[in-house]
Structure 1
Amino acid sequence: MTKISASNRNYLIKTLQDLLAIPSPTGMTDDIVGYVCGELTELGIPFELTRRGAIRADLKGARSSPDRAIVSHLDTLGAMVKGYYDNGRLQVVPIGSWSARFAEGARVSVYADDRQFRGSILPLKASGHTYNDEIDTQPIAWTNLELRLDEKISSEAEARAAGLNVGDIIAIDPSPEFTEKGFICSRHLDDKAGVAAVLAAASTIVENRIQLPIDCHLLFTISEEVGVGASHVLHGDVAELVSIDNGTIAPQQYTSEYGVTVAMQDSSGPFDRQLTQSLIQLCEQNEITYSRDVFRFYRSDAAAAVEAGNDIRTALLCFALDSSHGYERTHIDSLTALANLLVQYVTSKPLFQRDEEALGSVGDLPITSKAEPVSD
């Protein structure tokens, strides 16, 4: 078994640090796309960009079809200027789905047309010295938040004159911390930690000059947090798609906090049974720590790909994430386990040879029914 080496593990950490330092809320992803393109160039992996800026990179195999793909997303949660309050502070709405609870107190950058502003997102009643117990009883809602700018602004007119406009994108500071015990605490680990694991797996394959049995496309999408995801970046001959995203740490969830998690179903329905079982077998054969989980309120790039009409087998592999879409935490062991499984996956044989054709006979599918096709 080829495993992630110490140098590749360090590469994973350094790449994640770099990714977290680049603001990339949905709608503002050009800089992070440029960074990943640079990493792919350094690794010698060819790639193309879609019109909107999603990345489609190619790890070449002995055969070009049926091929497979691994998808992760570069966009993160964020916010946008909705309007103005009379005192010059700004109304905000979320980009992506996340609670106003986790926006309170965030330090942010506002990207206006020709400059950036710094500020903080606060509840409308932020001072106990003024509002007493009302600071604890006001509802948690985006309509109860305001963006306080670090500028001498005290009216809507002054905010407009400074160049602040409705629709300006707000990037939330990640505030990352990498601890000596391997924990990584930061906003936006979803899905930058997944991207770092994918790149670490790719680096391992390139470094060890591993021959892949079939082509594998590395897809990096830019609008997963708003539900678009991998709907527009697939090759037509992709038969297997493995999505990389977070698994949640919570009571009645079974995500492996220090290993990889194989999702059996999310809110869009079950994943392909054969592909999922093959990933579990790879974990067991290669002694990769793993668990299985089901997510009721969660969907990934894979769902967008299927809903767009792609006839593909899909699976979802997860790194551990506590407090997803909030103050997130993962562990380097979970990211390493994910990267190790990805190396094993891309070096494994295609699931079924009959998948080379969009339509075909039973072929090598494990169909056990003796029923004959109905004829007229």
Structure 2
Amino acid sequence: MSRAYTNPLGVQLGQCSYCGFCEKFGCGNYAKASPQTTILPVLLRKPNFTLKTGSEVLKVNLDSTGRRATGVTYIDAAGETFEQPAELVILSAYILHNVRLLLLSGIGQPYDPATGKGLVGKNYAYQITSSVNVFYDDKVLNPFIGAGALGTIVDDFNGDNFDHAGKGFIGGGFVGVVQTGARPIETHPTPEGTPAWGSAWKKAFARDYLKTATISTHGAVMSHRGNYLDLDPTYRDVLGRPLLRMTFDFTDNEHRMSDFLTDRAAEIGRAMNGREIRINRRTGSWDVVPYQTTHNTGGAIMSADPRSGVVNRYLQSWDVPNLFVLGSGAFPQNAGYNPTGTVAALTYLAAGAIRDQYLKAPGPLVAA
């Protein structure tokens, strides 16, 4: 919040003081939008609302036809299992857990990359990133301070905003400098040739931490037949259920696009007149070790008919009409833009359809 604000539900949010610890931390001023600062204070006062923390849904329960959800089975923090009956079930966990619950509950046909048949887990996609560090001797930039809204983005190379003729790839992404809080334990750019550890690394880190600007690129990833989600045949959780397995790698298309974006970022970095720059390209196969993004999509994709996807335009399950699956699992591809804005828009669309159509006449929804 740029200034104190009372939202339409009467919940008060404070003014941002630019303390610098926005990302991955709670806000002491209640200036950052999250459920506990925007809606939970109102819901907790309603007699027909119960929030059960420390609980995990194990599966969606179905009737004998397999076409109707009867509720969910969940386990609480004490390890006790309960069945919660429900006329309407909404999966609103993160995309990966939503897909896992569909698979564990036997809802829909799991995707098989060998045959191309099945839909649940299909079209999983990620995003591809790179960066350029600009090191200064005479500018103190305090990278640990800043809010996400203070970023500067170049959108000229995103999607179809530019001519792809002769580029050798489809898709695109943005180039930007986004101050979201450079945590010292996680963020330690050093110039090319700096040892990865030891006293020379410590000296370079101490010299450059406050005086480094980072230009990031953030590119789209197209869905591919070999990238998908399924239940792991070997590994289990503490309750003995299969873990979710992610099979994914970048293709040549993503690498060519990322190299193009990285070259544009390097041009900007050189024009910023620092002491030197370091170009950090994304090379080789996808690797879980370096942080990239947290924007997973697909696995429960939206479609115009039940032969092509898991949910309809209102995020209603084609197979179980009283089940709605929210989130970016509905995305058929992963765009160069972050998914949150579109996820919110789709959620509003689904909520409106549930209120205005489904509750009045439960069953498959038709496009308005």
Normalised to the residue count of structure 1, the TM-score between the two structures is 0.24
Question: More strand per residue: 1 or 2?
Answer: 1
Question: More helix per residue: 1 or 2?
Answer: 1
Greater relative contact order (CA < 8 Å, ≥ 6 in sequence):
1
Normalised to the residue count of structure 2, the TM-score between the two structures is 0.24
